[in-house]
Structure 1
Amino acid sequence: MDPVTVRDPALDVFEEHRSVLTGVAYRMLGRVADAEDVVQDAWLRWSRADREEVRDARGFLVRVTTRLAIDRLRQVQSRRETYVGQWLPEPLATDFGATVPDTAERAVLAESVSLGVLVVLESLSPLERAVFVLREAFAFPYQEIAAVLDRSEAAVRQLAGRARRHVDEGRPRFPVDAAEQRALTEKFLAAATGGSLEDLLALLAPDVRLVGDSGGKSKAPLRVLQSADKVGRFLFAVSRTGVAEPEFRFLELNGRPALLVLSAGRPDSVLSIELSGDGRIAAVYIQRNPDKLAGLAP
């Protein structure tokens, strides 16, 4: 007879909530590997816990994961002070369609994981970031967040208000239409690879920003480039001296259409854009740190 496989009830409960735990950890940390490490540590805590004393498994797991993520964030923030060049979150392949059928909920999740928002979150304190993620992305009540962070509800509301104001000031100001962003990215690719400099400049807002992340391991601007002329000339030059025989693929990354550039079948860079109110490109993000692109290998 074949041996009978016995499922671990503790693992079943943990897997039921894994997607939420991973979502919280990634939004807190901006790195898939860091998020996975935190979730693994949360599993170890759960497997060793006296689960008969736990009334709310989801609340327990979110509390443990959030506190672990705060500790990890404080560690990585010190490392980022010596990071070479600009720091961008690791691209995250997203597909909320199957698991989140509600359009409004999907839009909230996509916005909370977008590059524009994650970049702004980098300037928040760990506690502010935790409150914002739990409240804005996952709609946790203030009372539950207070229990997670071991703070008073009044203190949590104050943190939430401060974080929300800061994010609102820094996040993209215009609603995102995925089809429009995909179409503009395609025009951008055509202008950069086969058009003229004038074609490319016509797509850029006057105050467009370009942020590149290489971690010192690939070629990318170490500082933010700003203005249509600087960004356009840089991209036009790179498109003609960069990747040999590149392959381009469109993916949904961080809730938005993005362009993956492959070289010899390996990820070379990821490019994503933000739109301005007049339909031009307000920001360009280029991720070239190979450590952050490994998860996108075909």
Structure 2
Amino acid sequence: MLKIIQPGFYTTLQDLGRYHYRQYGVPVSGAMDQGALRRANALLENEPGAAALEVTMKGPEVEFTTPTFLVVSGAHLEAELNGEPVEMNRVYQVPAGSHLKCGPVLRGLRAYLAVKGGFLPEVRLGSRSYFPPVTRHKFLARDSELPYAPCEDFTPRLLKLNAADSYGQKEVRVWPGPEFDLLNPSQKACLFETEYHLAKEHDRMACQLGPAMEGIGTSMITSATLPGTVQLTPAGKLLVLLRDGQTTGGYPRILQLDPDSLDLMGQKKSGDAIRFLWA
């Protein structure tokens, strides 16, 4: 069992998402940086979608009541296990009673703390990812507990992985969205010539980009959206839908991020710059 002493700034439980329920308005959810989650699980030889803690900005302080092995991946997270520094993307044996204390997340926004076998709270609609009202919890709370299967006997095939730090990269790759051709030539040029910055309106559902551009006055029927859909409002605001984004929307869908760029957007914070490139 994992005991939460301090939950951190915004720590949730995430796997690779909740599929086959979008027709009921249920978002996919899941890890904002799925590449980082897969990397942590690969080192532990877990299933790729085993549930892990997603740490945003500042990590938790926790106690492991039973033995396991852990990996921290994603954006660099300052952490100590029983008083010793934890390296990123490295497997650590965790005896029963061990104490992990995390500090701030650096060079990115989100880190992932995975254990052998994954965390094992109840599955809701095919996923353990936090998303109320599907799940009872929105984020970890002080003095809460998370179950996992104890593990003492594990010899990892790979102890450590050197992962490239690309979180400072500005370029996000996109495909044209269904309404891309509603843009006039000057709007299309503007999209790919402008450096945009993430506004303070930014969470797991979506982020807003600035500066605003010329909007589209055409109305449209509410239509399906996906994580990574870029919408343009009539006022010229660009909205990038993220993992908890709504399943339909009434704004023109002018671009769609490729999967790697969607992961990169999950590591961007308010004020960070991006530029669009064709995938």
Task: Indicate whether the TM-score tops 0.5.
Answer: no
TM-score range, shorter chain: under 0.3
Comparing both chains, which one has the higher relative contact order based on Cα–Cα distances under 8 Å and sequence gaps of 6 or more?
A: 2
Q: Point out the structure with max Rg over C-alpha.
A: 1
TM normalised by structure 2 equals 0.28
Report the structure, 1 or 2, having the larger helix content.
1
Report the structure, 1 or 2, having the larger strand content.
2
